[in-house]
Amino acid sequence: MIRIFTVLGARPQFIKASALSSALAEHGDTISETIIHSGQHYDENMSEVFFKQLRLTKPKFTLQQNVHSGHASMTGNMMSDLEGIFNTEKPDLVLVYGDTNTTLAASLAAVKVQIPVVHVEAGLRSNNMRMPEEINRIIVDRISALNLAPSEKAMNNLKSDGLIESSLLVGDIMHDVIKNFSNEARLSTKASLEVPDAVINKPFVFATCHRGETTDNQVLLTEFFKGLNLISKELPIVLPMHPRLKSVLAKHNGTIRVSPNVHMIDPLDFFSSIFLQKRAKVVLTDSGGIQKESFYLETPCVTFREETEWTETIDLGWNRLSQISSNELARNVFDALSSRGQIGNPYGRGDASKKIIDSLLNQGWINQFK
Ligand code: UD1
């Protein structure tokens, strides 16, 4: 029996884990999975709702220390709690997703007590070292025993870093999630109370904004909202607000003007988010996950960042980068309205979970750590 401990903490990780965890459960005679929740995302609508909706097994452990301070103390506090759990429970391996502080803390804590790490969504690079996520992914790839890559390009990045021996191309786990759940995508009762029918029954833009690079920079945040106000003269916008954006706007105390045609609502559950992305004319985002969700759902996307890790979505014509200036945001959204990309499968065919489990069971790599 292989005992896997999966450490989750942020909203996109609950979503990704839903695909692999349900596939792992079908191998209960050979693999057991235990979930640890780091506590990074803790609001009901950032955490609990995903466990319920995506039928994720409840965490056996939830970290108790305060993880809501700065990046370093968040990471350190998680690490010290995780070390205790790993030392007592002695799992065969620790599985992590993506590039968050939870990913980094779990990987470092595991290797410090000699437990191999499996990194799902390895090999992505923005080549922007100002992003906390870029630092996290470079370190986690380097210390993982097995790097599971979503694309050829991610494999090439791992190769350039000298990590090809520990790397395997499995495709994108988010593709599995979309395949598993896109038929269930509908507005939840809560979301339908917040999103006026009159808005979503006509063309609209679906927008999100959560990265500190934008929210914590007053000039950029002001430009972002000026851009939304411009766009909303033509098309209404639905903007579910990440807690970081909500708290920053509260601090600005009404000085950032938002047009009434920009509908700012609470964070959405997964089905509602997928439903609205599918129905929207254009998605406008700084999220990595949403760039790909909109790609799978075939809705054109505008990404307001200087670079993206998911360049294939741009190469295929579904996604474009925009500067955060009001005019550029509006121009890109209006250009995207009439655009359509090409169909392609740069991230596999939605069978990443199966490939990951095959690699754990059949490739014997785990024996070298026993
Ligand atoms: C984190 C990840 C980011 C990922 C994002 C998904 C890192 C470095 N960043 O960013 O890669 O794209 O999650 O959402 O790990 N907050 C709440 N309630 C919550 C969650 C957060 O109020 O349920 C507050 C936090 O206390 C903090 C702020 O929102 O003040 C930001 O949260 P944090 O976890 O630090 O980073 P994210 O922006 O969510």
Q: What is the pLDDT of residue 132?
A: 96
pTM of the model: 0.96
Give the mutation target among 7, 37, 242, 248 for probing the ligand 1 site: most ligand atoms within 8 A of CB.
242
State the closest ligand 1 atom to the C-alpha of 42, by its place in the atom list counted from 1: 23
Rounded distance from Cα 338 to ligand 1 centre (Å): 33
Distance in angstroms (rounded) separating the CA atoms of residues 60 and 2: 17
Q: Is 100 in the pocket of ligand 1 (CB under 6 A)?
A: yes
Give the sign of the dihedral formed by CA 135, CA 139, CA 144, CA 150. positive
CA of 166 to the centre of ligand 1 (A): 30
Look-up: residue for tokens 């890109």?
332
Query: What contacts 24+ positions apart, CB below 8 Å, involve 191-200?
Result: 191/265, 191/268, 191/269, 191/272, 191/276, 194/263, 194/265, 194/266, 195/238, 195/263, 195/265, 195/276, 196/263, 199/236, 199/238, 199/263, 200/238, 200/276, 200/279
Using a 6 Å cutoff on CB, does residue 46 contact ligand 1? yes
Per-residue pLDDT of 151-206, as tens digits, reads 999 999 999 999 999 999 999 999 999 999 989 999 999 999 999 999 999 999 99
**How many angstroms does the Cα of residue 101 sit away from the middle of ligand 1?**
9
Residue 129: how many other CB atoms lie within 10 Å:
9
Tell me, what's the pLDDT at 365? Answer: 63
Residue with CA at minimum distance from ligand 1 atom 14: 11
Q: Which tokens is 241 given?
A: 């607000």
The pLDDT of residue 364 is 63
Residue 57 DSSP code = P
Q: Over the Cα atoms of the chain, what is R_g?
A: 20
Buried b (16+ CB within 10 A) or exposed e, 332-350: bbeebbeeebeeeebbbeb
Q: What is the dihedral of CA 254, 212, 269, 7, to 10 degrees?
A: -150
Q: What pLDDT, on the 0 to 100 scale, is given for residue 67? A: 76
Please choose, from the candidates 124, 112, 123, the residue with its C-alpha nearest in 3D space to the C-alpha of residue 146: 123
What is the DSSP-derived secondary structure letter of residue 94?
Answer: E
**Cβ 308 under 6 angstroms from ligand 1:** no
41 lines ligand 1 (CB under 6 A): yes
Q: How far is the CA of 34 from the centre of ligand 1 (A)?
A: 23
48 lines ligand 1 (CB under 6 A): no
As averages over each run of 10 residues, the pLDDT of the chain (370 residues) reads 96 98 95 97 96 96 85 95 98 97 98 97 97 97 97 98 96 97 92 93 98 95 98 98 96 93 97 97 98 98 97 98 98 97 96 95 63
Q: Helix 11-25 and helix 173-181: axis angle, to 10°?
A: 80
Return d(Cα 148, Cα 244) in angstroms, integer.
Answer: 30
| Position in ligand 1 atom list of the atom nearest CA 289 | 12
C-alpha dist (Å) from residue 107 to 2, 120, 306: 18, 12, 28
Nearest C-alpha neighbor of 360 from the set 137, 154, 91, 124: 91
Please choose, from the candidates 334, 242, 348, the residue with its C-alpha nearest in 3D space to the C-alpha of residue 295.
348
Q: Is the CB of 68 under 6 A from ligand 1?
A: yes
40 CB less than 6 Å from ligand 1?
yes
User: What is the Cα–Cα distance from 64 to 81, expressed in whole angstroms?
Assistant: 8
Beta strands, E only, 259-339: 262-265, 282-285, 301-303, 319-321
Q: Tell me which amino acid residue 9 is.
A: G
Q: Which is the closest atom of ligand 1 to the Cα of 47?
A: 23
Active site members = 210
Through-space distance between the first and last CA atoms of the chain, rounded to whole angstroms: 12
Single-letter residue type at 153: K
d(CA 61, CA 15): 18
Give the CA angle between residues 137, 271, 66 to the nearest 5°: 45
Nearest CA to ligand 1 atom 26: 68
- By most ligand atoms within 8 Å of CB, the mutation choice from 210, 241, 246, 291 for ligand 1 is 210
Nearest atom within ligand 1 for CA of residue 215? 38
Region of 208 (left: φ > 0; alpha: ψ -120 to 50; beta: rest) is: beta
